[in-house]
């Protein structure tokens, strides 16, 4: 059974970066389909403007390209409530917990993130994996 993947913001940031090994790895993963949340797209847009100094058109184009193989999940009040519960149970930062909640709602079994709790298995069905380790 193929894995259902969810990508954290840092995977998209590395796709857009000049760090070739990480950019290549991120592009390989995202090119194989998966999910992101609208929160991830918002966080990416913020980093792209602030740190990468991209203009709005470049951000729109990148996000449109990412969304060819990747589906964007809406964040709802249900996502928020699940995220609060996950933050409390697992000691996650609130924004990380919202990404984990969105991944669970998308029925993913793998969440790729460089800076979350690598190896953590949430609800016996979602494993957090550092794709750059």
Q: Which of 132, 104, 101, 128 is nearest to 116 (CA)?
A: 128
Environment class of 123 (CB within 10 Å of its CB; exposed 0-12, middle 13-18, buried 19+)? exposed
47 close to 13: Cβ distance less than 8 angstroms: yes
Which residue segments constitute the domains of the chain, with CATH numbers given?
5-127 (3.40.50.1010)
Q: Looking at residues 1-8, what average pLDDT do you find? A: 82
Q: How far apart are alpha carbons 72 and 41 in whole angstroms?
A: 8
Pairing of strands 70-73, 110-112: unpaired
Q: Quick: pLDDT tens for 41-93.
A: 999 999 999 999 999 999 999 999 988 889 999 999 999 999 999 999 999 99
Q: Return the pLDDT at 2.
A: 54
Helix (H) or strand (E) holding 79: helix 77-90
Q: Quick: pLDDT tens for 13-30.
A: 999 998 899 999 999 999
56 close to 62: Cβ distance less than 8 angstroms: no
């Amino acid at each position: 059974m193929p894995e259902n993947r969810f990508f954290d913001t840092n995977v998209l940031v590395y796709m857009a970066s000049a760090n070739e090994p990480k950019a290549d790895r991120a592009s390989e993963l995202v090119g194989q389909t998966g999910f992101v949340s609208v929160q991830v797209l918002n966080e990416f847009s913020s980093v792209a403007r602030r740190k990468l100094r991209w203009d709005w058109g470049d951000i729109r184009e990148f996000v449109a390209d990412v969304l060819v193989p990747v589906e964007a999940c809406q964040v709802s009040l249900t996502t928020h409530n699940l995220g609060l519960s996950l933050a409390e149970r697992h000691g996650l930062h609130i924004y990380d917990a919202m990404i984990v909640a969105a991944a669970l709602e998308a029925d993913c079994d793998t969440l790729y993130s460089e800076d979350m709790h690598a190896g953590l298995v949430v609800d016996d069905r979602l494993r957090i994996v550092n794709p750059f380790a």
